[in-house]
Amino acid sequence: MDTLLISADNALRTVFGRHQSARPQPSPDAQAPVLNEEERRLSGALMRVNHVGEVCAQALYAAQAITTQEPQLRAHFEEAARDETDHLAWTERRLDELGDRTSWLNPLWYAGAFGIGLLAGRLSDRISLGFVVETERQVEQHLESHLNRLPANDVASRKIVEQMRDDEVRHALQAERAGGIPLPMPVRWGMRAAAKVMTTTAHHL
């Protein structure tokens, strides 16, 4: 019951709460250029997608932390989740700066990611870690694509995305070193397909 209540509280805080970062928000050294309306809309859509990714990351790590029986592995998931909380706060704040909003479907994204995290965690710790490795590598590729798509003038968003990418690379390496195993190719394809649906939908909704 305690685990259920904590999980529900985490879900409500992630989806509906305002978040504070432990680390300062990455920012450009000089004042960022003013974006025109087209640039602002594009940056807002891309940062909304990135915010959705952080909502899902919170759900995944929360589910994996409660399924493992290993205290050291639980601490690993909780530490990674703290980095993702920074990302959540940074993308949330950047959306405010752009005059844009988070996804209307965040409760759905959280629930789906939590369910996937529970399934991976119940299969085995090594599969759960392997899921982290594959997820973070796909997120790294996704963030690289956003760096190519963000308006050249939007240096503020770029700084955030660059730091997020670097953190995701580190998370993947840590999970691999902790014993994560490669996932079967059909599973990796399925993850890519699900991520494509999510990112395409969140771009608009």
Q: Where are the chain's structural domains? A: 36-204
Q: Compute the distance between CA of residue 203 and CA of residue 205 in angstroms, rounded to an integer.
A: 6
Residue range 164-183: mean pLDDT, rounded: 90
Q: Which fold has domain 36-204?
A: Ferritin (1.20.1260)
pLDDT tens for each residue of 101-126: 999 999 999 998 899 888 888 888 88
Tokens of 198: 């999510």
Structure confidence at residue 4 as a pLDDT band (50, 70, 90)? low
What is the structure's pLDDT at 194? 86
Q: H-helix or E-strand containing 48?
A: helix 37-67
pLDDT band at 98 (very low <50, low <70, confident <90, very high): very high
Cα 23 to its chain centre, rounded Å, is: 16
Measure Cα distances from 146 to 22, 49, 68, 110 in Å: 24, 10, 33, 22
Between 93 and 16, residue with greater pLDDT: 93
